[in-house]
Amino acid sequence: MAATVIAGLLLLRSYVFGVLPSGFDDFESAGSDILFSNSLVANTTPSFNVSSCPGYTLADLKETSSGLTASLHLAGEACNAFGQDIADLTVQVTYETQTRLHVNIFDTAQTQFTIPSSVVDVAGPDGGAHKDTSDLVFNYDPAPFAFWITCRSEPDAQPLFDTRSSSLPPTPIPPVIADDSSTALDAFPLVFENQYLQLTSALPLDANIYGLGEAVASAGFRRDVGTNGGVGTIQTMWARDDADPIDGNMYGSHPFYLEHRYNATTHRSQSHGVFHFSAAGSDILLLTPPSSPVSLVQYRLVGGTLDFYFFSGPSSQEVVEQYGALIGLPTWQPAWSFGFHLCRWGYHDINETKEQVENMRAAGIPLEVMWNDIDLYHAVRDFTTDPVTFPAEEVRALIQELTANHQHYIPIVDAAVAVQGNATDIYDPYTRGVELDAWVKNPDGSEYIGQVWPGYTVFPDWFADNTVEYWTEALRNWSASGVEFSGIWLDMNEVSSFCNGSCGSTANLSDTSLPFLLPGDPGMLITDYPEGYNATVSGPSGNITVNGTLTFGQGASTSVAGLPSLRKRGVGEAAEKGVNLNDPPYALHNGFGPLWVHTIATNATHAGGFAELDVHNMWGMMEERATHLALQTLQPGKRPVLISRSTFPSSGKWTGHWLGDNYSKWQYMHFNIQGALQFQLFQIPFVGADTCGFMGNTDEELCNRWMQLSAFMPFYRNHNQRGAMSQEPYRWDSVAEASRTAIGVRYSMLPYWMTLFANASMHGTPPVRPLFFDFPDEPELFAVDEQFLIGRDILVTPVLTPNVSTVDGFLPGQGRIIWRDWYTHEAVNSIPGTRTTLSAPLGHINVHIRDGSALLLHAQPAYTINETRSGPYSLLISQAADGYAFGTAYVDDGETIPPTPNRTLTIHSQRGEVRLQSHGDYEITQRLTNVTVLGAAQTKPNQVLVQGNAAGSWDFDVGLERLIVSGLELDLNQPITISWT
């Protein structure tokens, strides 16, 4: 739930068009108070041009069996492009593992900010001497210093990363993006200044780049490098509270990318990864200058160091796993978190909240977790309940009723904590934070006071010694008061503030009014019809059809291109009103303009002397870590469930993520897939979108399709904004039926999901994948993000456009794979390398099973995850043409933090036989009751044996080549053999 619904859009409008909203500080006068004050060295005037930057010369080389260390000295007169050049650097190269190479360029005096290991504890070298055997090779030129990374197996191929000017196009180059002067490329030297760092690498022309987020990218999951009609990408790393802007910086910062290279001669591919380990605000540019033989990636930072890790792959899955091994693997998810979650901003009271629980059960639509947004709070304050609308004891009673029915409850926790308004204002979460010295400060040591939902607020300082203790105590007290939560929802943690600077320092703290209206209030009603609906043609009903005619697009444009997007401001445009070119001298492409807008000011200070400018991007991740540790204390032994908005490398160790405040638009349903695929790369696999859309009004068809799509996403929640039309899935009969069907499939697949997430937590293997991950040598798949794979075995092809009853999708494998329909078990015929048209009437989502797969399933999906897990199991085997199939299943109690008793089932299939082996110390009490084998035989078997004895009940469908063995009561803790002849 977003501040940006109102305040963010107000600010964006102001800075794009140069008009200041009333109630906000004057742009110029504010600068001296709230910007970082030590940005430039005295008597240094930035040139704003890197063409005269001399680069560096390497000296004092020392080599070891695991790498090298050398000095870098400024090679000429300082250019002072956007700060003051740092004369002496150190380059440290470490072959950390066989597949990971670490190249760290830092100021020798070590005055630049680096991320403390107490915040992100990355893995170190594995102890081996890999310099002469590593998959990756570090090469360098000493003067001017440049380096390039090659593959040991292909030393003459184009380097994976190459900073040599000779490998880059000749400069100067006019603006590559015509209306953005900052994309003029004056030169490509290594620049290392106190407030500006620059490094550029050549990429293959039209490179396949994925990652660099968080982003809602108009070009799709495959990033725009400026070829084939694209303009290129400027990905800004500056956490920002803005409602899912297209091609703008947003909630999270992840400077990691995966590149997938295809050799058109050998028809083989391999992938590698590049990670810049930095919290600095930065622009990462993907561009292709006109007539250039290469594309390029350029890093521009306003602080920090050039600390890079390279991962050799060579498969895409291995790249992601190698990245996870460095930053930390994802947290373990309990089984119940994979159920369906329901929320909205606008459940006015406890009775309306309870009503949703009752209505969902009456409709027979499984509900696992009920949520509340800030409606829950008293005076919109964290860790409270409203005594009138959400009396604490009634909240407790609802939660205990949910618990008794094996359901769960999650409330919101906003990032900011209200200040004490006056002497009579009793609010312990604030005063206790004062006692423990837990708040972010102004440079003079006073409390930094911003403004969020409850009015004036302070912000926890995660660097302070007592803040985790404070946070744990606040959550404990809240739970004891009646909010007996199963998990926590962290919002507004970019961090967000509605005013600029420490606006409450001299204000009337008892004034809790906000400078804008809330959605749903008079003057801010959400009255727009759903996308594509024209009331003048179709009347006022808003229905999907009127007199049998579909209403989407009637008398209106049928374009689903999405919202008009405002252009990000240019850099260097001196005449543009409200652009401060001097602090920091290089102006990032922040969507709100100056870095201090709509967040904590960049000169706010943290314990240890850290400035907000340096640590801003990590705030959300540090809150997630503190909350995760708090839940481990409060719920000993249980896997914490967190969903958070702002993320950073290593966030996946602590939390899952929802994709922010999206729109009830068809385009944003497509973005749902892109976002989920992105966060698999970032090692935050438990991810999903606000199903049916958060902002604006959805409609029956969109919600129908989206409820089915999200049933195949890791995190599955329906959530919308205050004042919009209700969109719970029981509101329309067709949506209710589609939801019941999709949730039934989801719950039956729960053992598969749990196995995939166990592999993620143990190995970093992404549960949800783009098609090219498993079919890397099929170029037609490299840009596909309308479909996705769950693991290697399940292909999902959703409908993403209105008014259709079919969908086109690839069945990958170029004819070598048999794909069978999940529902009918029929094999689908397709032409290799082209899309196949699949039937997709409203309420149906295409799901296909890959041949060679063996899946453990729940045989009887029930209303809750607990009921489902208490029931029997089944096996679904989809044999390849030669009879082969293989699969594993990881089973434990679904709740306890490992190490915990567990069992792994291994299923092998060959012609005429299925064997299951069972290993582990967890006792599975539920029985295996039926086995389905697809592709079992072309003719009906003469006999079927179970554990060597004649099967009591079996059936064979010749047309489907399907054998079903039912009525079983098999012990999954013992070996199992089923055969047929």
Task: Yes or no: say if 279 and 648 are a contact pair by the CB < 8 Å rule.
Answer: yes
Count CB-CB contacts under 10 A for residue 971.
15
Cβ neighbour number for residue 278 with a 10 Å cutoff: 26
Instruction: Decide: helix, strand or coil at residue 5.
Output: helix
Q: How far apart are alpha carbons 616 and 306 in whole angstroms?
A: 18
Q: Which residues, other chains included, contact 873 with Cβ-Cβ below 8 Å and sequence gap of 6+?
A: 751, 856, 857, 858, 859, 924, 926, 927, 928, 929, 972
Sorted by sequence, the CB contacts under 8 Å of residue 630 that are 6+ apart come out as: 468, 471, 472, 475, 476
Q: Round to whole Å and give the CA distance between 10 and 7.
A: 5
- Asked if 268 and 678 count as a contact pair (C-beta separation under 8 A), the reply is no
Partners of 68 in the β-ladder: 63, 93
Angle at which helix 700-710 crosses helix 666-681, to 10 degrees, equals 20
* Alpha carbon distance 796, 840 (integer Å): 12
How many other C-beta atoms are found inside a 10 Å radius of the C-beta of residue 635?
Answer: 17
Listed in order, strand segments (DSSP E) in 729-772 are: 768-769
Phi, psi of 146 (to 5 degrees): -150, 155
Full DSSP string of 475-517: HHHHHHHT---SSEEEESTTT--SSSSSTTTTS-TT----SSP
Q: Contact at 8 Å (CB) between 270 and 219? A: no
Q: How far apart are CA 409 and CA 385, in angstroms?
A: 14
Residues 6+ apart with CB under 8 A from 456: 418, 419, 421, 449, 450, 503, 504, 507, 509, 511, 512
φ/ψ bin of 229: left (φ > 0), alpha (ψ from -120 to 50), beta (otherwise): left
Verify cis geometry, omega within 30 degrees of 0, for the bond prior to 913.
Answer: no
Specify whether the CB–CB gap between 521 and 541 falls below 8 A.
Answer: no
Active site residue: 135, 373, 661, 728, which one? 661
CA distances in angstroms from 977 to 633, 849, 971, listed in the order given: 45, 23, 11
Q: List C-alpha distances in Å: 648 to 120, 619, 782, 969.
A: 10, 9, 26, 47
Which among 294, 274, 278 has a CA at the least distance from the CA of 136?
A: 274
CA distance 602 to 592: 14
**Strand 717-718 relative to strand 690-691: parallel, antiparallel, unpaired?**
parallel
Task: Specify whether 882 is catalytic.
Answer: no
| Distances in whole angstroms, Cα of residue 267 to Cα of each of 262, 664, 778 | 7, 41, 8
DSSP 924-975: --SEEEEEEEET--SS--S-EEETTEE-SEEEEETTTTEEEEES--EETTS-
The residue from 244, 247, 491, 701 that is catalytic is 491
**Cα separation, 945 vs 968, whole angstroms:** 12
- Residue 185 sits at φ, ψ, to 5 deg, of -110, 100
Which of 318, 375, 494, 774 does the annotation list as catalytic? Answer: 494
Please identify every residue annotated as catalytic: 491, 494, 661
